[in-house]
Amino acid sequence: MISLEVRVARRLTQLPPYLFVEIDRKKREAAARGVDIINLGIGDPDLPTPEPIIQALEAGASRSANHRYPDSEGLGSFRRACAEWYARRFGVTLDPEREVLTLIGAKEGIGHLPLALVDPGDVVLIPDPAYPVYQAGTVFAGGEPYFLPLRRENGFLPDLEAIPEAVLRRAKLIFANYPNNPTGAVAPREFYPRLVEFAARHGIIVAQDNTYSEIAYDGYRPPSFLEVPGAKEVGIEFHSLSKTFNMTGWRIGFVVGHAGVVDALRRVKSNLDSGAFNAVQEAGITALANAEAIAARNSAIYQERRDLLIAGLRSVGLSVESPRATFYVWPTVPEGYTSASFVSLLIEQTGIVCTPGNGFGRQGEGYVRFALTAGRDRLRVAVERMKGALERQA
Ligand SMILES: *Cc1c(COP(=O)(O)O)cnc(C)c1O
Protein backbone atom coordinates (compact mmCIF):
# COMPACT_ATOMS: atom_id res chain seq x y z
CA MET A 1 0.00 0.00 0.00
CA ILE A 2 1.13 3.54 -0.75
CA SER A 3 1.32 5.74 2.29
CA LEU A 4 0.00 9.18 1.44
CA GLU A 5 2.14 12.13 2.30
CA VAL A 6 0.02 14.30 4.56
CA ARG A 7 -0.11 17.98 3.76
CA VAL A 8 -1.71 19.37 6.89
CA ALA A 9 -4.13 22.28 6.87
CA ARG A 10 -2.62 25.77 6.87
CA ARG A 11 -4.22 26.49 10.22
CA LEU A 12 -1.89 23.94 11.78
CA THR A 13 1.23 25.35 10.17
CA GLN A 14 0.25 28.85 11.32
CA LEU A 15 0.64 27.88 14.96
CA PRO A 16 3.92 28.20 16.80
CA PRO A 17 5.19 24.73 17.79
CA TYR A 18 3.46 23.67 21.01
CA LEU A 19 6.12 24.60 23.44
CA PHE A 20 5.95 21.73 25.85
CA VAL A 21 6.70 19.16 23.12
CA GLU A 22 10.17 20.62 22.56
CA ILE A 23 10.90 20.86 26.29
CA ASP A 24 9.69 17.31 26.79
CA ARG A 25 12.25 16.11 24.25
CA LYS A 26 15.13 17.85 26.07
CA LYS A 27 13.86 16.55 29.35
CA ARG A 28 13.79 12.97 28.07
CA GLU A 29 17.33 13.34 26.69
CA ALA A 30 18.61 14.53 30.05
CA ALA A 31 16.71 11.80 31.91
CA ALA A 32 18.18 9.20 29.54
CA ARG A 33 21.66 10.42 30.53
CA GLY A 34 20.71 9.69 34.13
CA VAL A 35 20.07 13.30 35.19
CA ASP A 36 17.64 13.64 38.13
CA ILE A 37 14.84 15.85 36.77
CA ILE A 38 13.12 18.57 38.83
CA ASN A 39 10.11 19.47 36.73
CA LEU A 40 8.95 23.07 37.20
CA GLY A 41 7.90 23.33 33.57
CA ILE A 42 4.20 22.67 33.25
CA GLY A 43 1.48 24.25 35.39
CA ASP A 44 0.19 20.94 36.66
CA PRO A 45 -0.24 20.60 40.45
CA ASP A 46 1.82 17.84 42.07
CA LEU A 47 -0.69 17.64 44.96
CA PRO A 48 -3.45 15.00 44.81
CA THR A 49 -7.16 15.73 44.31
CA PRO A 50 -8.78 16.01 47.78
CA GLU A 51 -10.41 12.79 49.00
CA PRO A 52 -14.07 14.00 49.24
CA ILE A 53 -13.96 14.90 45.54
CA ILE A 54 -12.69 11.44 44.64
CA GLN A 55 -15.44 9.86 46.76
CA ALA A 56 -18.07 11.94 44.97
CA LEU A 57 -16.75 10.68 41.63
CA GLU A 58 -16.88 7.08 42.85
CA ALA A 59 -20.49 7.50 43.93
CA GLY A 60 -21.42 9.26 40.71
CA ALA A 61 -19.68 6.66 38.56
CA SER A 62 -21.89 3.95 40.08
CA ARG A 63 -25.14 5.67 39.13
CA SER A 64 -26.36 4.35 35.78
CA ALA A 65 -28.17 7.60 34.93
CA ASN A 66 -24.69 9.11 34.66
CA HIS A 67 -23.56 6.59 32.05
CA ARG A 68 -25.58 8.20 29.28
CA TYR A 69 -24.70 11.27 27.18
CA PRO A 70 -24.56 14.40 29.30
CA ASP A 71 -26.47 17.52 28.21
CA SER A 72 -24.16 19.80 26.26
CA GLU A 73 -24.84 22.74 28.60
CA GLY A 74 -23.95 20.61 31.63
CA LEU A 75 -25.87 19.31 34.64
CA GLY A 76 -28.31 21.80 36.13
CA SER A 77 -27.03 20.90 39.59
CA PHE A 78 -23.42 21.68 38.60
CA ARG A 79 -24.40 24.99 37.02
CA ARG A 80 -26.34 25.92 40.16
CA ALA A 81 -23.27 25.06 42.25
CA CYS A 82 -21.18 27.38 40.05
CA ALA A 83 -23.70 30.20 40.48
CA GLU A 84 -23.84 29.65 44.27
CA TRP A 85 -20.06 29.73 44.50
CA TYR A 86 -19.97 32.96 42.43
CA ALA A 87 -22.51 34.58 44.74
CA ARG A 88 -20.58 33.49 47.85
CA ARG A 89 -17.10 34.24 46.58
CA PHE A 90 -17.58 37.34 44.42
CA GLY A 91 -21.04 38.67 45.31
CA VAL A 92 -22.03 38.20 41.65
CA THR A 93 -25.54 36.96 40.79
CA LEU A 94 -25.82 34.54 37.86
CA ASP A 95 -28.76 32.77 36.23
CA PRO A 96 -27.60 29.13 36.13
CA GLU A 97 -29.87 28.44 33.15
CA ARG A 98 -28.64 31.18 30.85
CA GLU A 99 -25.39 32.51 32.26
CA VAL A 100 -23.44 29.37 33.20
CA LEU A 101 -22.08 26.65 30.92
CA THR A 102 -20.11 23.53 31.89
CA LEU A 103 -16.82 23.05 30.02
CA ILE A 104 -14.54 20.05 29.54
CA GLY A 105 -11.84 22.18 31.14
CA ALA A 106 -11.38 25.90 30.57
CA LYS A 107 -9.03 25.12 27.68
CA GLU A 108 -11.89 23.53 25.76
CA GLY A 109 -14.09 26.62 26.13
CA ILE A 110 -11.28 29.05 25.35
CA GLY A 111 -10.28 27.07 22.27
CA HIS A 112 -13.85 26.89 21.00
CA LEU A 113 -14.93 30.45 21.81
CA PRO A 114 -13.55 32.03 18.61
CA LEU A 115 -15.49 29.47 16.54
CA ALA A 116 -18.62 30.93 18.10
CA LEU A 117 -17.75 34.61 17.61
CA VAL A 118 -15.04 35.17 15.02
CA ASP A 119 -15.30 35.28 11.23
CA PRO A 120 -12.30 35.26 8.89
CA GLY A 121 -10.85 38.77 8.87
CA ASP A 122 -12.02 39.58 12.39
CA VAL A 123 -9.29 40.65 14.79
CA VAL A 124 -8.83 39.11 18.23
CA LEU A 125 -6.84 41.09 20.80
CA ILE A 126 -4.47 38.73 22.61
CA PRO A 127 -1.99 39.51 25.38
CA ASP A 128 1.68 38.78 24.75
CA PRO A 129 2.97 36.81 26.61
CA ALA A 130 -0.07 34.59 27.18
CA TYR A 131 -1.52 31.14 27.60
CA PRO A 132 -1.06 29.78 24.03
CA VAL A 133 -4.68 28.65 23.54
CA TYR A 134 -6.01 32.20 22.97
CA GLN A 135 -3.94 32.35 19.79
CA ALA A 136 -4.61 28.76 18.73
CA GLY A 137 -8.39 29.14 19.03
CA THR A 138 -8.23 32.40 17.09
CA VAL A 139 -6.17 30.93 14.26
CA PHE A 140 -8.40 27.84 14.04
CA ALA A 141 -11.41 30.11 13.56
CA GLY A 142 -9.66 32.08 10.80
CA GLY A 143 -9.33 35.16 13.01
CA GLU A 144 -6.37 37.50 13.02
CA PRO A 145 -4.44 37.81 16.29
CA TYR A 146 -3.34 41.31 17.30
CA PHE A 147 -0.92 41.11 20.19
CA LEU A 148 -1.04 43.42 23.20
CA PRO A 149 2.41 43.61 24.80
CA LEU A 150 2.46 43.03 28.55
CA ARG A 151 5.49 44.77 29.99
CA ARG A 152 6.91 44.69 33.46
CA GLU A 153 6.98 48.51 33.64
CA ASN A 154 3.19 48.53 33.07
CA GLY A 155 2.52 45.84 35.68
CA PHE A 156 2.01 43.36 32.84
CA LEU A 157 -1.26 45.09 31.87
CA PRO A 158 -2.16 45.81 28.23
CA ASP A 159 -2.14 49.43 27.06
CA LEU A 160 -5.67 49.55 25.63
CA GLU A 161 -5.29 53.15 24.45
CA ALA A 162 -2.30 52.24 22.26
CA ILE A 163 -4.34 49.97 19.96
CA PRO A 164 -4.69 51.60 16.51
CA GLU A 165 -8.18 52.73 15.47
CA ALA A 166 -8.07 50.54 12.32
CA VAL A 167 -7.44 47.46 14.48
CA LEU A 168 -10.22 48.36 16.91
CA ARG A 169 -12.72 48.66 14.05
CA ARG A 170 -12.07 45.02 13.07
CA ALA A 171 -11.69 43.68 16.61
CA LYS A 172 -14.37 41.29 17.82
CA LEU A 173 -12.91 39.82 20.98
CA ILE A 174 -10.29 40.59 23.63
CA PHE A 175 -8.71 38.03 25.94
CA ALA A 176 -7.57 38.97 29.42
CA ASN A 177 -6.09 36.72 32.10
CA TYR A 178 -5.59 37.84 35.69
CA PRO A 179 -4.16 36.50 37.89
CA ASN A 180 -1.84 36.02 34.94
CA ASN A 181 -0.13 33.03 33.46
CA PRO A 182 2.84 33.26 32.82
CA THR A 183 3.81 36.53 34.59
CA GLY A 184 2.05 36.01 37.93
CA ALA A 185 0.69 39.59 37.67
CA VAL A 186 -2.68 40.53 39.17
CA ALA A 187 -5.19 43.12 37.96
CA PRO A 188 -5.32 46.28 40.04
CA ARG A 189 -8.83 47.44 41.12
CA GLU A 190 -9.14 49.99 38.31
CA PHE A 191 -8.30 47.56 35.49
CA TYR A 192 -11.62 45.72 35.06
CA PRO A 193 -13.76 48.90 35.06
CA ARG A 194 -11.40 50.25 32.37
CA LEU A 195 -11.74 47.03 30.39
CA VAL A 196 -15.56 47.11 30.58
CA GLU A 197 -15.63 50.75 29.47
CA PHE A 198 -13.22 49.98 26.59
CA ALA A 199 -15.28 46.98 25.46
CA ALA A 200 -18.56 48.90 25.53
CA ARG A 201 -17.04 51.87 23.67
CA HIS A 202 -15.66 49.73 20.84
CA GLY A 203 -18.21 46.89 20.77
CA ILE A 204 -15.60 44.24 21.63
CA ILE A 205 -16.46 41.13 23.65
CA VAL A 206 -14.29 40.45 26.70
CA ALA A 207 -13.16 36.93 27.60
CA GLN A 208 -11.43 37.08 30.99
CA ASP A 209 -9.67 33.91 32.15
CA ASN A 210 -9.91 33.60 35.95
CA THR A 211 -8.34 30.16 36.20
CA TYR A 212 -6.06 31.29 39.06
CA SER A 213 -8.54 33.24 41.19
CA GLU A 214 -8.18 30.83 44.12
CA ILE A 215 -4.39 30.55 44.24
CA ALA A 216 -3.35 33.75 45.99
CA TYR A 217 -1.07 34.87 48.80
CA ASP A 218 -0.62 37.20 51.73
CA GLY A 219 -4.40 37.56 52.18
CA TYR A 220 -4.98 38.83 48.62
CA ARG A 221 -8.34 37.75 47.11
CA PRO A 222 -8.42 38.13 43.30
CA PRO A 223 -11.70 39.67 42.10
CA SER A 224 -14.00 38.54 39.31
CA PHE A 225 -14.28 40.67 36.19
CA LEU A 226 -18.06 40.30 36.61
CA GLU A 227 -18.00 42.31 39.85
CA VAL A 228 -17.83 45.45 37.71
CA PRO A 229 -21.25 46.93 36.82
CA GLY A 230 -21.91 46.35 33.12
CA ALA A 231 -19.38 43.49 32.79
CA LYS A 232 -22.06 40.89 32.14
CA GLU A 233 -23.28 43.03 29.24
CA VAL A 234 -19.90 42.91 27.48
CA GLY A 235 -18.24 39.67 28.40
CA ILE A 236 -17.68 36.32 29.99
CA GLU A 237 -15.29 34.78 32.49
CA PHE A 238 -13.65 31.36 32.36
CA HIS A 239 -13.01 29.16 35.38
CA SER A 240 -11.24 25.90 35.78
CA LEU A 241 -11.42 23.36 38.56
CA SER A 242 -7.99 22.11 37.44
CA LYS A 243 -5.64 24.33 39.38
CA THR A 244 -7.89 25.22 42.32
CA PHE A 245 -8.69 21.62 43.25
CA ASN A 246 -5.72 19.70 41.76
CA MET A 247 -7.98 18.23 39.08
CA THR A 248 -6.11 18.84 35.82
CA GLY A 249 -6.68 15.26 34.66
CA TRP A 250 -10.43 15.35 35.29
CA ARG A 251 -11.25 17.92 32.58
CA ILE A 252 -13.83 20.16 34.18
CA GLY A 253 -14.35 23.93 34.09
CA PHE A 254 -17.08 26.44 33.37
CA VAL A 255 -17.80 29.80 31.81
CA VAL A 256 -20.15 32.50 33.13
CA GLY A 257 -21.45 35.86 31.99
CA HIS A 258 -23.15 37.36 28.92
CA ALA A 259 -26.10 35.05 28.07
CA GLY A 260 -25.73 35.53 24.30
CA VAL A 261 -22.04 34.64 24.32
CA VAL A 262 -22.63 31.68 26.63
CA ASP A 263 -25.36 30.42 24.28
CA ALA A 264 -23.17 30.86 21.18
CA LEU A 265 -20.43 28.78 22.80
CA ARG A 266 -23.02 26.15 23.84
CA ARG A 267 -24.11 25.86 20.21
CA VAL A 268 -20.53 25.22 19.04
CA LYS A 269 -20.05 22.64 21.78
CA SER A 270 -23.32 20.86 21.03
CA ASN A 271 -21.96 20.24 17.53
CA LEU A 272 -18.46 19.15 18.53
CA ASP A 273 -18.52 17.43 21.90
CA SER A 274 -21.19 15.94 24.08
CA GLY A 275 -20.30 17.54 27.36
CA ALA A 276 -18.45 16.55 30.51
CA PHE A 277 -19.09 13.18 32.22
CA ASN A 278 -21.95 13.75 34.67
CA ALA A 279 -20.07 11.99 37.48
CA VAL A 280 -17.17 14.43 37.06
CA GLN A 281 -19.63 17.31 37.29
CA GLU A 282 -21.08 15.80 40.47
CA ALA A 283 -17.56 15.60 41.89
CA GLY A 284 -17.19 19.24 40.83
CA ILE A 285 -20.21 20.15 42.98
CA THR A 286 -18.39 18.69 46.00
CA ALA A 287 -15.25 20.60 45.04
CA LEU A 288 -17.07 23.94 44.81
CA ALA A 289 -18.92 23.31 48.08
CA ASN A 290 -15.53 22.97 49.80
CA ALA A 291 -13.72 25.61 47.75
CA GLU A 292 -12.74 27.92 50.60
CA ALA A 293 -11.03 25.25 52.70
CA ILE A 294 -9.28 23.55 49.78
CA ALA A 295 -8.09 26.81 48.25
CA ALA A 296 -6.75 28.06 51.58
CA ARG A 297 -4.82 24.83 52.13
CA ASN A 298 -3.32 24.80 48.62
CA SER A 299 -2.44 28.48 48.66
CA ALA A 300 -0.63 28.07 51.99
CA ILE A 301 1.50 25.31 50.48
CA TYR A 302 2.30 27.30 47.34
CA GLN A 303 3.05 30.41 49.39
CA GLU A 304 5.81 28.60 51.33
CA ARG A 305 7.23 27.29 48.08
CA ARG A 306 7.02 30.74 46.51
CA ASP A 307 8.93 32.33 49.38
CA LEU A 308 11.62 29.67 49.19
CA LEU A 309 12.08 29.87 45.41
CA ILE A 310 11.96 33.67 45.23
CA ALA A 311 14.63 33.97 47.93
CA GLY A 312 16.68 31.30 46.18
CA LEU A 313 16.47 32.90 42.74
CA ARG A 314 17.44 36.28 44.16
CA SER A 315 20.37 34.70 46.01
CA VAL A 316 21.75 33.40 42.70
CA GLY A 317 21.37 36.87 41.16
CA LEU A 318 18.12 36.62 39.19
CA SER A 319 15.76 39.60 39.14
CA VAL A 320 12.24 38.51 40.04
CA GLU A 321 9.07 39.89 41.63
CA SER A 322 7.19 37.86 44.20
CA PRO A 323 3.77 37.01 42.71
CA ARG A 324 0.61 37.77 44.74
CA ALA A 325 -1.29 34.99 42.95
CA THR A 326 -0.89 32.00 40.57
CA PHE A 327 1.77 29.34 41.09
CA TYR A 328 4.17 30.90 38.60
CA VAL A 329 7.44 32.73 39.13
CA TRP A 330 8.68 34.84 36.22
CA PRO A 331 12.32 35.97 36.55
CA THR A 332 14.43 37.61 33.88
CA VAL A 333 17.30 35.44 32.66
CA PRO A 334 20.87 36.29 33.70
CA GLU A 335 22.94 38.68 31.58
CA GLY A 336 24.23 37.02 28.41
CA TYR A 337 21.42 34.47 28.10
CA THR A 338 18.27 34.20 26.03
CA SER A 339 15.18 32.44 27.34
CA ALA A 340 16.08 29.36 25.28
CA SER A 341 19.77 29.25 26.19
CA PHE A 342 19.02 29.61 29.91
CA VAL A 343 16.40 26.85 29.77
CA SER A 344 18.92 24.61 27.98
CA LEU A 345 21.61 25.37 30.56
CA LEU A 346 19.24 24.46 33.38
CA ILE A 347 18.01 21.23 31.84
CA GLU A 348 21.42 20.02 30.74
CA GLN A 349 23.44 21.00 33.82
CA THR A 350 20.94 20.86 36.65
CA GLY A 351 17.99 18.73 35.52
CA ILE A 352 15.65 21.63 36.31
CA VAL A 353 12.88 21.97 33.75
CA CYS A 354 11.35 25.43 33.34
CA THR A 355 9.62 27.10 30.42
CA PRO A 356 11.25 29.67 28.11
CA GLY A 357 9.32 32.95 28.27
CA ASN A 358 9.32 33.41 24.49
CA GLY A 359 7.17 30.27 24.22
CA PHE A 360 4.33 32.46 25.50
CA GLY A 361 4.94 35.16 22.88
CA ARG A 362 7.67 37.49 21.66
CA GLN A 363 7.40 39.75 24.70
CA GLY A 364 8.28 36.79 26.89
CA GLU A 365 11.84 36.76 25.52
CA GLY A 366 14.32 37.35 28.31
CA TYR A 367 12.16 35.60 30.92
CA VAL A 368 11.63 32.03 32.07
CA ARG A 369 8.67 30.61 33.97
CA PHE A 370 8.96 28.34 36.98
CA ALA A 371 5.83 26.53 38.22
CA LEU A 372 5.72 25.93 41.98
CA THR A 373 4.79 22.30 41.40
CA ALA A 374 7.44 20.59 43.51
CA GLY A 375 7.87 20.34 47.26
CA ARG A 376 10.19 22.55 49.28
CA ASP A 377 12.91 19.92 49.56
CA ARG A 378 13.09 19.68 45.78
CA LEU A 379 13.02 23.47 45.40
CA ARG A 380 15.96 23.73 47.82
CA VAL A 381 17.88 21.22 45.72
CA ALA A 382 16.95 23.17 42.58
CA VAL A 383 18.33 26.42 44.00
CA GLU A 384 21.57 24.72 45.11
CA ARG A 385 22.09 23.22 41.67
CA MET A 386 21.34 26.52 39.96
CA LYS A 387 23.91 28.24 42.15
CA GLY A 388 26.49 25.63 41.15
CA ALA A 389 25.73 25.85 37.45
CA LEU A 390 25.87 29.65 37.36
CA GLU A 391 29.12 29.72 39.33
CA ARG A 392 30.68 27.26 36.85
CA GLN A 393 29.62 29.51 33.96
CA ALA A 394 31.01 32.68 35.56
C1 LIG B 1 -4.29 25.79 33.01
C2 LIG B 1 -4.92 26.95 32.32
C3 LIG B 1 -6.14 26.81 31.66
C4 LIG B 1 -6.78 25.47 31.36
O5 LIG B 1 -7.38 24.86 32.38
P6 LIG B 1 -8.19 23.52 32.14
O7 LIG B 1 -9.46 23.76 32.89
O8 LIG B 1 -7.36 22.43 32.73
O9 LIG B 1 -8.43 23.32 30.68
C10 LIG B 1 -6.74 27.95 31.14
N11 LIG B 1 -6.16 29.15 31.25
C12 LIG B 1 -4.98 29.32 31.85
C13 LIG B 1 -4.39 30.67 31.92
C14 LIG B 1 -4.31 28.22 32.39
O15 LIG B 1 -3.12 28.39 32.96
Query: What are the residue ranges spanned by the domains of the chain?
Result: 10-48+293-393, 67-291
What's the mean pLDDT in 17-41?
86
pLDDT at 19: 66
Of residues 151 and 23, which shows the higher confidence score?
A: 151
Q: Is 253 in the pocket of ligand 1 (CB under 6 A)?
A: yes
Q: What is the pLDDT of residue 249?
A: 97
Segment 180-203, tens digit of pLDDT: 999 999 999 999 999 999 999 999
Q: 238: closest CA among 202, 208, 215?
A: 208
Mean pLDDT of 297-318: 97
Query: If you measure from the C-alpha of residue 372 to the centroid of ligand 1, how many angstroms do you get, rounded to a whole number?
Result: 16
- Percentage of residues in the chain with pLDDT exceeding 70? 99
Per-residue model confidence (pLDDT) at position 14: 87
Kindly tell me if the per-residue pLDDT of 21 is higher than 80: no
pLDDT for the residue numbered 23: 79
| Contact criterion met (CB below 8 Å) for 211 and 319 | no
Q: How far is the CA of 379 from the centre of ligand 1 (A)?
A: 24
Instruction: Choose among 288, 349, 358: nearest CA to 83.
Output: 288
Closest CA to 47 of 293, 242, 219, 183: 242
Atom of ligand 1 nearest to the CA of 248: 8
Question: Cα Rg for the chain, rounded, in angstroms?
Answer: 21
Q: What is the mean pLDDT of residues 226-241?
A: 98
Residue 48: phi, psi to the nearest 5?
-75, 160
Residue of the CA atom closest to atom 14 of ligand 1 = 211
Distance 212 CA to ligand 1 centre (A): 9
**Residue 83 exposed, middle or buried by CB count within 10 Å (0-12, 13-18, 19+):** buried
Kindly indicate the confidence band of residue 16, based on its pLDDT and cuts at 50, 70 and 90: confident
- Measured distance CA(163)–CA(109) in Å, rounded: 26
Q: Is 43 in the pocket of ligand 1 (CB under 6 A)?
A: yes
Average pLDDT over residues 114-127: 97
The pLDDT of residue 15 is 85
Residue to mutate (ligand 1; options 126, 150, 181, 210; most atoms within 8 A of CB): 181
The predicted structure's pLDDT at residue 2 = 81
Q: What is the pLDDT of residue 22?
A: 75
> Looking at residue 17, what is its pLDDT?
73
Report d(CA 131, CA 180) in Å as an integer: 9
In 95-227 the beta strands, taken as DSSP E runs, fall at: 100-103, 123-128, 144-149, 171-176, 205-209
CA of 294 to the centre of ligand 1 (A): 18
Q: Is 248 in the pocket of ligand 1 (CB under 6 A)?
A: yes
Q: According to the model, what pLDDT value does residue 266 have? A: 97
Q: If you measure from the C-alpha of residue 105 to the centroid of ligand 1, how many angstroms do you get, rounded to a whole number?
A: 7
Q: Candidates 42, 128, 131: which one to mutate for ligand 1, based on the most atoms within 8 Å of Cβ?
A: 131
Provide the strand spans (E) within the chain: 38-39, 100-103, 123-128, 144-149, 171-176, 205-209, 235-240, 253-257, 328-329, 352-353, 355-356, 368-371
CA distance 21 to 19: 5
Distance between CA atoms of 224 and 196, rounded to whole angstroms? 12
Mutate which of 131, 240, 246, 280 for ligand 1? The one with the most ligand atoms within 8 Å of its CB, which is 240
Q: Which fold has domain 67-291?
A: Aspartate Aminotransferase; domain 2 (3.40.640)
pLDDT at 79: 98
Segment 109-121 mean pLDDT? 97
Cβ neighbours, 10 Å, residue 153:
5
Contact 276, 266 (CB under 8 A): no
Decide if 241 contacts 276 (C-beta within 8 A): no
Residue 295, pLDDT score: 97
The stretch 173-183 carries a mean pLDDT of 98
Q: Which CATH architecture has domain 10-48+293-393?
A: Alpha-Beta Complex (3.90)
Instruction: Give the nearest ligand 1 atom to 247 CA.
Output: 8
Q: What is the mean pLDDT of residues 134-146?
A: 97
- Percent of the chain exceeding pLDDT 90 equals 91
Cis peptide before 182 (omega within 30 of 0): yes
Query: Tens digits of per-residue pLDDT, 63-104?
Result: 999 999 999 899 999 999 999 999 999 999 999 999 999 999
- Distance between CA 82 and CA 254 in Å, rounded? 8
Residues in the chain: 394
To test the pocket of ligand 1, the residue of 108, 134, 211 to mutate (highest count of ligand atoms within 8 Å of its CB) is 211
